[in-house]
Amino acid sequence: MSQAQAPQSASLFADPAARAAALRAELARLDHAYYVLDAPLVSDADYDTLFRELQALEAAHPELRTPDSPTQRVGGAPLPQFAPVRHAVPMLSIQTETDTTPQGAAAFDQRVRNKLALSADDPPVTYNAELKFDGLAINLRYEHGTLVQAATRGDGETGEDVTQNVRTIRSVPLQLHTTHPPAVLEVRGEVLMKRADFERYNERQRAKGLPTLVNPRNGAAGSIRQLDPTIAAQRPLAFYAYGWGEIVGWVHQPDTYHAMLDALAAMGLPVAEQRVHGPGAQTLIDFHGRIATERDSLPFDIDGVVYKVDSLALQAELGFRNREPVWAVAHKYPAQERSTRVLAIDIQVGRTGKLTPVAKLEPVFVGGVTVTNATLHNEDEVRRKDVRVGDAVIVRRAGDVIPEVVSVLLDQRPANAGQPFDLDKQLGGHCPVCGSAIVREEGEADWRCTGGLFCAAQRKQAILHYASRRAMDIEGLGEKLVDQLVDGGIVNVLPDLYRLGLLKLAALDRMADKSATNLLDALQASKSTTLPRFIYALGIRQVGEATAKELARHFGSLDTLMDASLEQLQAVSDVGPVVARSIRTFFDQPHNREVVEQLRACGVHWDESAPVEAAAPKPLAGKTFVLTGALPTMSREEAKERIEAAGGKVAGSVSKKTDYVVAGAEAGSKLAKAQELGIAVLGQEGLMTLLDHDGAADQGA
């Protein structure tokens, strides 16, 4: 960090006005570095020292207090109402391309080319692609370089004067960084709240027992429309420029859109770095695709992307239609969040006995699929979000991960909504499938059924896992069939699979002789397997495919593995204390040893002298992770072990070298730092997805 550049001692300045001006300029420079460039120049303490000196100076000499002083960002007196502002140039909106496929971008290009009467032989049109920010549109009016007014869009013709509130946004320059400012420059853009700031704000509100914001968009819009500017000042907002209104006297004004944004950035205005310009529809399609993958790791929510013709001359030629520019279009992504209602909170039993609360929802179309169930992770999560039967909730589906309930719309809670969630009480202390006692161990997030393989739900999951492609690969042994086999008492333990006969199988529902024969063949074929597959198939908690391979390679025989001590287990690369304990616990159960013996007696065999093929390339090799906050169902130690087992590294602090930050509840400054640096942020599900690429993370359910 360099030093603040304002002269160190006020006494050097006999002239308080000159000192105040120097402090204002220096604080503006530091604000820009911190809030726009994300590159702080001095410590917070140094900044505060300068800030307080200016405050003291202004208190002693009120005539020195200028509207562009950084001290004026904190908000003045409440307003009775907002004054109307008539826009010099109307604030219009843009057309939305509803086709969310790449075709949407091609359609826009075609419309532009048609309107310009270009034939297929003519060269491509140059376009800009940028983000469609999900906030509130604002017009900033600078006169001779000074911010004089900020207004909302309103009906497009007349907005509201929100200058006091917009001043509190630290990334909005109160003074343009140029020696030759245009006489008038209106900058248009979006005010929004970054996700990390939103989370932090809500965290603080919760701690104080005060109301929280529903989402960042409402947070931004609500803050700007606060009559009391001290409230806006407490809510961390950001601004990104994407256009302009009235311009008077700009010498050498650029003639393309991208150069205009570059010029605005040079004047100190925040312009998002995610933008490109280039020829033809392909530029747009590429950007749309790229942002689709980056979307979840952006520091703020977006509503899609926006395409604009780059040449301002062509923009003028294309003009407007129905009060919308022909030269611009918004291109959306399939919605990822929707609201719906909770019909019930069910509790599912996973393979390892984990009890997961699941919201049964009124069906809702989210992100391209109809969702009827969403995970609530665990009891603490349900309580933290206070989800109750009957509630209206926001459901989110990101990528391929399991849909989840994001939040409850508390103001829509019906009078007859259910009671606060209590898993133990709801289940009366017993597993809903087998009636065994349920337990929640100290320090664990999950309740578990203690029934083990006595529990039909766990048995079913264990059988499905055993039969899965990467385990014993028993084709035809699917969910419906396993349900029948277990519910009919035909298969109670894994070895029972090898005792199935044609008669019994063919008697089952929807089971033709042919499929019964095929299944028996598949079962027969599965008996000849490999040691790594067999270890993996046993379904030991924490032992994924990669770990199974390492164990097979290290111990060479199942008997040696079954008798290995904790220390011996930990000598295997990638096996830490958590995994070692889990393996030991598994083989310490007499019934598990019994199952292994019976499977061998049924003819399951492998060649222990066969070399174990090298483990698949580690999917996370070379990737650095930082863990922060509490994950719903994994301890930090566990997450670390699994990342390391997949070849990744876990570091303690976030830096440019971090590839992923895995954030759970109550994530703090590390999450904020990640979002500032634009580092991908994952939740537990996202981490599982990454790990799952080598089958190493199958132990969640």
Q: Residues interacting with ligand IVH, by CB under 6 A?
A: 92-94, 130-133, 137, 153, 190, 242-243, 306, 325, 328
Tokens, residue 280: 């033809």
Question: What SS3 class is residue 607?
Answer: coil
**Rounded Cα distance, 460 and 457, in Å:** 5
Please report how close the Cβ of residue 242 comes to ligand IVH at its closest, in angstroms: 4
Q: 592: which 2 tokens?
A: 């598990």
- Rounded CA-CA distance 342/359 in Å is 6
Judge whether 151 and 160 are in contact, CB under 8 Å: yes
Q: Which is nearer to ligand IVH, 182 or 243 (CB)?
A: 243
Q: Residue 412: CB partners within 8 Å, gap ≥ 6?
A: 391, 392
State the minimum distance, in angstroms, from the CB of residue 290 to ligand IVH. 16
Q: How far is the CB of 296 from ligand IVH (least distance, A)?
A: 18
Nearest CB to ligand IVH, comparing residues 305 and 387: 305
Q: Between 96 and 339, name the residue whose CB sits nearer to ligand IVH.
A: 96
CA angle, residues 67, 73, 77, in degrees to nearest 5: 80
- Residue 436 CB, shortest distance to ligand IVH, in Å, is 54
Residues in the chain: 701
- What minimum distance in Å lies between the beta carbon of 133 and ligand IVH? 4
Task: Please say which residue, 303 or 483, places its beta carbon nearer to ligand IVH.
Answer: 303
Residue 161 sits at φ, ψ, to 5 deg, of -80, 110
Pairing of strands 275-279, 126-133: antiparallel
| Least distance CB 176 / ligand IVH (angstroms) | 21
In the structure encoding, which two tokens stand for residue 268, read together? 């100190």
Closer to ligand IVH by Cβ: residue 192 or 639: 192
Q: Is 666 left (phi over 0), alpha (psi -120 to 50) or beta?
A: left
What type of residue sits at position 429?
G
Interacting residues of 541 by C-beta distance below 8 A, sequence separation 6+: 352, 582, 586, 699
Question: Which H or E run includes 287?
Answer: helix 280-294
Helical segments of 627-699, H only: 636-645, 669-677, 684-692
Query: Both ends of the chain: CA-CA distance in Å?
Result: 47
Closer residue to ligand IVH, CB minimum distance, 128 or 336: 128
The contacts of residue 102 (CB under 8 Å, 6+ apart) are: 285, 288, 289
Q: With the C-alpha atoms ordered 385, 388, 394, 397, is the resulting torsion angle positive or negative?
A: positive
| Minimum distance from residue 259 beta carbon to ligand IVH (Å) | 16
Computed over its alpha carbons, how large is the radius of gyration of the chain?
A: 31
State yes or no: is 504 an active-site residue: no
The distance of closest approach from Cβ of residue 227 to ligand IVH in the complex, given in angstroms and rounded to an integer, is 22
Q: Which is nearer to ligand IVH, 75 or 243 (CB)?
A: 243
SS3 308: strand
Instruction: Give Cα separations from 160 to 73, 133, 135, 146, 282 (angstroms).
Output: 19, 20, 16, 19, 39
Is the Cβ of residue 26 or residue 186 nearer to ligand IVH in the bound state?
186
Distance CA 522, CA 474 (A): 5
**Torsions phi, psi of 160, nearest 5?**
-115, 145
- Out of 132, 385, 549, 673, pick the active-site residue: 132
694, 616 Cβ separation under 8 angstroms? yes
Q: Closer CB to ligand IVH, residue 245 or residue 353?
A: 245
Least Cβ distance, residue 335 to ligand IVH (angstroms): 16
Instruction: Compute φ and ψ for 395, nearest 5 degrees.
Output: -110, 135
Residues with a known catalytic role? 132
